[in-house]
Structure 1
Amino acid sequence: MIKKSLTGLLLLMVLLVFSACGGNDDNSSSKGDNAEGNTNEGSEQTEIEFWTMQLKPTFTDYIEGVISDFEEENPNITVKWLDVPAADLSQKILTSVSSNTAPDVVNLNPNFASQLADLDALVNMDEAVPEEDQKLYVEGAWEANQINGTTFAIPWYLSTEVMLNNTAVYEEAGLDPEENFPETYEDAKELAKTVKEETGKYGYYPSLDLSLVLQHMVKMGAELTNEDGTEAAFNTEEGLSTFEYFTDLYQNDLIPREALTGDQRNTIDMYQAGEVGTFIGSQFISQIKENAPDVYKNTVPSKGITGKSGKKTIAVQNIVVPEQTESKDAAVKFALFLTNGDNQLEFAKLTPIMPSNVEALEDPYFQDAGEDAEPIDMVRITSASQLDESELLIKPMKNYDELRQAMHDAISEAMLGNMSPQEALDQAEAEWNNILSK
């Protein structure tokens, strides 16, 4: 099913995007010559290779436990696990696919996985997964792994945007925290003004790194491209409002300089120091508990803010099966086992993530924080409560990294005062149209 030019195209991607990549892959596995589907009791032994993204050593016991349980239920299937540093995974999977040594099951994010799916390099999960099993996953998470109407992955774990609010900063600014937690971008702007005027601190710390500029634009009502993804569509009133919003905050010192020039690590550092009122940071709640216990005690979560569109974002990590696998049935079987309700619930209790399996989400762990709830418990309940209204805002698209960088470069020009917001938006539109035409 691989397209005629798949190997050549993938090799070209490796050469262009990862020029430092060597010619040898020491992680290729010997899987034997088992025919696809030989997974029944008593059949020939099948080995599948499973790659994850930077889960060792924190989750070694968990993953090895899942593999052991699966092998016990399927004695004719052996799972070989390889954990890859996050920075290396894209390079390794591209190299392995181009050299026809792809693993059987891989943990990838939707945007990168979609690049492989667009080349027919991944198994079609609409065909491989029974319909009744497809319905076991959060709808928005299942749909996040679709391109051109085809599902290329099984969702694994999720997160939604939860605001962390340091109530001590609110009170220092003379605000009642419960009545002033922001729900919209305009609320956040008013909070930023009040906190700055009354305390000199930053009420709101938005991050603009990675894909977050694009997410802000979608939440504020902008469409990124036309329906078929061939032209930019954000040079509109909504797109301009987004550029003007962040330019105004930045130039009036209502958000930190690091919002543009730094990354999310700067955000957490300032929040832990008690210098920030609110930011999107539920993934950092354990770190705050450990590093800044006083700030942790004053932290109250609230739902993620949104804009004109009313949309809220969901982040998805998924499981894919490369089309090259010689053991597709065994690979899909393991992917479904890994993402079943029991296994996802156990995983979610080890780290602040959301399961994509609806059976796991029905557990009281995600419904009731209990009488002695801590901030970390309330983050979990808040995140779960908005799953139904959240979606993947940045749909899989070609040349995603170039598009993301072009938008960040453009809004930077506006925020730094080198261009007007409209001039910067025009620049972004021209860059996007050039990239989309490739």
Structure 2
Amino acid sequence: MKHHRTLSIAAAAATLAALSACTSDAGGERVGRCAIADEFAAGTPVDTTPSGEITFQTTALKASFSEYFTELIEEFEAAYPGTTVTWEDDPGDGSFATRLVADAQACSLADVVNMPLATAGGLREQGFLADLDAASPGIGDDFIPSLWDSLVLPGDDHHYMLPWYWGLIGLQTYNTELMQRAGLDPEQPPTTFEELFDAADQVAERSNGEFSAFSASLGLRLPLEWQLQEAEVIADDGSAFVFADDQAVQEWTERMTRLALAGGIPKDSIASDDEPTALFTQGAAVWGSPNASSLRYVQEGNPGVYEHVGVSSLLDRRGTAIAEVQTIGVPSTSTNPATAIAFARFLLAAEQQSRFISDPRIQNFPSTTESLDIPKLTDITGTAPIDEANRLAVDLADEAEIVTIVQWSDAVANAVNAELQLALTGKKPPREALQAAQDAANRVIGADAR
């Protein structure tokens, strides 16, 4: 189960913003040219009996979890006679957000949608997601409090997305054989980003181009790696991005640039948003994904590499982890609010989440407090890399800091990454690229450039 940082096309995001401001003479509240459901427009609880048809869209889950979702839908339809749920699964690739924008523009979003938090934040800002606190009071009561509290936009204490599964960012997964070939000690992995870059520089120097330190994967690294270093990414009031003035961010950008120009990062990964797991699975990179869930793909894709996987605790000066969250949203344009909300609650109920997360292929955490007590998370006895990663992740989960920069939308990520790519390819000095990235990000959120 992968976590995807998806990039949107800036023009599409601008079009979405323009459409959301449109009005119509057709009557009723609208977002763009799409009608908002009367039940959601009223801002009161949706208390009608669920019935009729809805669509449910997941992201890159059908290939591995068809049996689970087929049974879940059958159980829901049995519990609510007269309902029908049609399941769709998006591949979750780099154009996912663009497709979702197109669906929003066409008034054809699914009734219940699984999406990364950044994508959900963008849809919420344009008015395409329903206020779930108003529509279904108490809907957040069973969720982990810190996780639930993290899903609000600045200046708004209501929730427009629900937390589903989540993973910790900051674990190290590394190829011990490649570390030794680069003259590094796999028994002494880096513990800070400074140490990581020092080791990566040595990989670039000694690998003779046969393997790399890691994939660039800017869309997956940022802003999380800055947050892990306690960098000030955005002003306290959320009004503007300020990361270009932060020393940790400056050092990170300079070290990434130096590494890329020295050949420690594959050139074709600089402008790509692919998961680092693919390169790692090929045995072509020392470091892989910081998420434990990636190891299942390594195990299945290349058992030879999996035998040499090492795992250690996170690269984090604070000693606490940051979580990345997958969410569930109900579009404000749904034509069947009652059934959509009922299904979202059914999907995320503790009973269903415990069953889902108990699958041995999943290395993520559930979003309900009750589901954290399942044996899989409390009794880990194996010694394989996945087991080691899970043990570390469970230990860190107790202290996980759910830090969400909701302004870091797909459009912001696209703008920032475009500028930093210029630095990593030697086309612009790191500090200049960083300032340009901040200015571009602030233009996206309508803040004055600083």
Give the TM-score normalised by the residue count of structure 2. 0.77
- Classify the secondary structure of the residue corresponding to 1:413: helix
Structure 1 unaligned blocks of 5 or more: 1-8, 18-27
How far did residue 299 of structure 1 move?
1.2
2:315 alignment partner, one of 305, 309, 312: 305
How far did residue 339 of structure 1 move?
1.4
Distance (whole Å) between structure 2 residues aligned to residue 290 and residue 78 of structure 1: 35
2:219 alignment partner, one of 197, 203, 210: 210
Residue in 2 aligned with 1:361?
372
In structure 2, give the amino acid aligned to 1:434.
Answer: R
> Once the two structures are superposed, what CA deviation does each residue of 1:47-74 show, in whole Å capped at 9, x if it has no partner?
3332223433432221110111122222
Distance (whole Å) between structure 1 residues aligned to residue 392 and residue 328 of structure 2: 25
2:130 alignment partner, one of 123, 130, 154: 123
* Mapped contact 2:354–2:366 kept (Cα < 8 A): yes
Distance (whole Å) between structure 1 residues aligned to residue 298 and residue 260 of structure 2: 26
* Mapped contact 1:205–1:279 kept (Cα < 8 A): yes
1:181-260 paired onto structure 2 within 5 Å: 181-195=189-203, 200=208, 204-205=213-214, 207-236=216-245, 237-260=247-270
Distance (whole Å) between structure 1 residues aligned to residue 108 and residue 268 of structure 2: 42
> Once the two structures are superposed, what CA deviation does each residue of 1:123-161 show, in whole Å capped at 9, x if it has no partner?
223334554x52432344323432133211111111223
Residues 197 and 367 of structure 1: CA distance in aligned 2, closer, same or farther (over 3 Å): farther
Residue in 2 aligned with 1:82?
88
Residues 207 and 360 of structure 1: CA distance in aligned 2, closer, same or farther (over 3 Å): farther
> Once the two structures are superposed, what CA deviation does each residue of 1:157-216 show, in whole Å capped at 9, x if it has no partner?
1122332122223444565433x1222102212332455566657684253332523322
Residue in 2 aligned with 1:414?
423
In structure 2, give the amino acid aligned to 1:79.
Answer: V
> Once the two structures are superposed, what CA deviation does each residue of 1:292-327 show, in whole Å capped at 9, x if it has no partner?
2122122122233235x6664322211111223454
Residues 411 and 93 of structure 1: CA distance in aligned 2, closer, same or farther (over 3 Å): closer
* Mapped contact 1:214–1:394 kept (Cα < 8 A): no
**Structure 1 consecutive aligned stretches of length 4 or more whose deviation exceeds 6 Å:** 14-17
Residue in 1 aligned with 2:23?
none
Residue in 2 aligned with 1:51?
57
1:13 alignment partner, one of 16, 24, 27: 16
Residue in 2 aligned with 1:23?
none
Residues 85 and 197 of structure 1: CA distance in aligned 2, closer, same or farther (over 3 Å): closer
How far did residue 278 of structure 1 move?
2.5
Distance (whole Å) between structure 1 residues aligned to residue 341 and residue 212 of structure 2: 47
RMSD over aligned CA atoms reads 3.6
Residue in 2 aligned with 1:380?
390
Matched, 1:113 2:116: no
How far did residue 356 of structure 1 move?
1.8
Residues 10 and 271 of structure 1: CA distance in aligned 2, closer, same or farther (over 3 Å): closer
Farther-moved stretch of structure 1 (330-339 vs 282-291): 282-291
* Mapped contact 1:213–1:407 kept (Cα < 8 A): no
> Once the two structures are superposed, what CA deviation does each residue of 1:304-362 show, in whole Å capped at 9, x if it has no partner?
3235x666432221111122345434322221221122322332314333322222221
Matched, 1:141 2:147: yes
* Mapped contact 2:59–2:114 kept (Cα < 8 A): yes
> Once the two structures are superposed, what CA deviation does each residue of 1:91-144 show, in whole Å capped at 9, x if it has no partner?
66555555555543221222222223224432223334554x524323443234
- Classify the secondary structure of the residue corresponding to 1:235: helix
2:406 alignment partner, one of 386, 396, 400: 396
Residues 93 and 169 of structure 1: CA distance in aligned 2, closer, same or farther (over 3 Å): closer
In structure 2, give the amino acid aligned to 1:62.
Answer: Y
Farther-moved stretch of structure 1 (355-364 vs 425-434): 425-434
How far did residue 233 of structure 1 move?
0.9
- Classify the secondary structure of the residue corresponding to 2:69: helix
Residue in 2 aligned with 1:158?
166
Distance (whole Å) between structure 2 residues aligned to residue 158 and residue 127 of structure 1: 25
Distance (whole Å) between structure 2 residues aligned to residue 102 and residue 111 of structure 1: 17
* Mapped contact 2:168–2:324 kept (Cα < 8 A): yes
Structure 2 unaligned blocks of 5 or more: 1-11, 21-33, 40-44
Distance (whole Å) between structure 2 residues aligned to residue 108 and residue 121 of structure 1: 13
- Classify the secondary structure of the residue corresponding to 1:361: helix
* Mapped contact 1:46–1:327 kept (Cα < 8 A): yes
Distance (whole Å) between structure 2 residues aligned to residue 65 and residue 408 of structure 1: 40
Aligned residues: 406
* Mapped contact 2:204–2:262 kept (Cα < 8 A): no
How far did residue 258 of structure 1 move?
4.5
The sequence identity of aligned pairs, in percent, is 24
Distance (whole Å) between structure 1 residues aligned to residue 236 and residue 46 of structure 2: 38
Distance (whole Å) between structure 2 residues aligned to residue 188 and residue 175 of structure 1: 11
1:340-359 paired onto structure 2 within 5 Å: 340-348=349-357, 349=359, 350-359=361-370
Give the TM-score normalised by the residue count of structure 1. 0.79
2:325 alignment partner, one of 313, 316, 319: 316
Residues 16 and 344 of structure 1: CA distance in aligned 2, closer, same or farther (over 3 Å): same
